[in-house]
Structure 1
Amino acid sequence: MGSTPTTGYVERLTVPWWLWLPGLGGAALLAAEIWLGSSGVRAWLPFVVLLPLAAAGLWWLGRIRVRVADDELLVDDARLPVRFVADAIPLDAEGRREVLGVGADPLAFVVQRPWIGGAVQVVLDDPADPTPYWVVSSRHPDDLAKALLAARSQLAGRAARS
C-alpha cells in the first residue's frame, strides 16, 4: 500500500512585471540602435531576434520552483530530504542581506533572486554533507519555513509510530 504524495508548499520565483518593462525596453533600444534607419533585413531582423530573446531570458530567470512535497524540499532540480532539516528560519530583506553578506559560509547552497526580498535559511543536520545551510529566496518565507518544519514533524511522527 503506497502513500499518496503530499504537497505542503509551492512557489515559483517569477520575475515581476515591472522588471519586464526595462528588459524588453533595453532589447528594443538595442534593436533600434542596430537598425538606425536602415532598410532591408537590417530594419526588422534585430527586433525579431532581440525582443523574443529578451523575453526568453526573463522567463528563464523566473523558472525556479520551490516546493515542499513528499518529505523533500525541492528547489529547481536540487532536493533536500526534510529529515536533514535542523531548523528553518524565515528572513526578511535585512536578514537575507546579513546571511548572504561578508560572513556567509562559502559552502552554503544559495538560490537567491534579487527581486525577492524574503528568504528562508534552512539549517542542516547531515554529518555526511559539508553544506551547513541552504538559503532560498521566497516571497512568503514564513509559510515556507512552517511547511518545512511541519513536513519534518510529520516524518518524525511516522517514524515514531513504525
Structure 2
Amino acid sequence: MQSYEERLTAPRSWWAIAALVGVSCALILFPLGTLPMLGGLIGGGALAAVAVSSYGSPRIRVVGGALLAGDAKIPLTALGEAQALDADEAAAWRTYKADARAFMLLRGYIRTAVRVEITDPEDPTPYAYLSTRDPERLVAALAAARA
C-alpha cells in the first residue's frame, strides 16, 4: 500500500518577511532605547514566525484507511473519484467553480490541487479541495489505498 504525507509549509519568502517584521518592530521601538529595541526585534520576529509556522502547519496524509487533511479525517470508503488539478484548473475550482459546501484545505501559495468527490449520502459536502504540491502522487496514493 502506497502511503502519502505532505506538510503545506509556507514559502521561504514568508520567513524573510517574518524577520523583517521583527526588524520593523525594533525600528519602531528604537527611540525608547536599546532594551525595548531588542525586545521589539525578538518579540515581533517571534510572533511573526509563529504565525507563518502555524499557517504552514496543515498536513495531508493517507493512512489507516483514511484521508487526513488538516483537522478533517475522511474514511476512504466515503471518497469517490480523485482528480489532479493543474494550476489553471485549481484556480477555477478555488473561484467560480467552487461550491460553498465543499471542504477546502486551501493554501494560495500552492498552485496545484486535488479534488476528491465525497460520496457519503449523509454528508452534504460534495467534494474536498486539497492544495498539494504533488497532485498526481496524492491521487495515486488514494487509488492504491482503496484497492
Pair in the same fold by TM > 0.5? yes
In the alignment of these two chains, the number of paired residues is 147
Q: How does 1:43-54 map to 2 (within 5 A)?
A: 43-54=37-48
Whole-Å Cα distance in 1 between the matches of residues 126 and 26 of structure 2?
A: 45
- The separation in 1 between residues aligned to 2:34 and 2:14, in whole angstroms, is 32
* Separation (CA, whole Å) in 2 of partners of 1:43 and 1:116: 35
- What letter is aligned with 1:23? A
2:16 maps to 21
Q: Alignment partner of 1:95: what SS?
A: helix
The change in CA–CA distance for 1:137 and 1:27 in structure 2 (over 3 A counts) is same
Quick one: percent identity of the two aligned structures? 34
Instruction: Choose which of 122, 131, 135 in structure 2 pairs with 1:137.
Output: 131
Q: Which position in structure 2 is the counterpart of 1:76?
A: 70
Q: Unpaired runs of 5+ in structure 1? A: 1-5, 154-162
Using the alignment, how far apart are the partners of 2:110 and 2:39 within structure 1? Answer: 34
Amino acid across the alignment from 1:106: A
Q: CA RMSD of the aligned region, Å?
A: 1.6
> Highest Rg: 1 or 2?
1
Counterpart in the other structure of 2:119: 125
SS at match of 1:36: helix
TM-score, structure 1 normalization: 0.84
Q: 1: distance between equivalents of 2:18 and 2:35?
A: 24
Tell me, in whole angstroms, the C-alpha distance in 2 between the residues paired with 1:103 and 1:94. 12
* Aligned counterparts, 1:149-160, within 5 A: 149-153=143-147
* TM-score of the aligned structures, taking structure 2 as reference length: 0.92
User: In 2, Cα distance between the equivalents of 1:16 and 1:22?
Assistant: 10
| Superposed displacement of residue 40, structure 1 | 5.2
Indicate if the aligned counterparts of 1:90 and 1:141 stay in contact, CA closer than 8 A: yes
Q: Contact conserved, 1:118 with 1:138, CA < 8 A, in 2?
A: yes
The match for 2:108 is: 114
Give the match for residue 9 of structure 1. Answer: 4
After TM superposition, list the pairs within 5 Å mapping 1:84-103 onto structure 2.
84-103=78-97
Mapped partners of 1:94, 1:24: distance in 2? 32
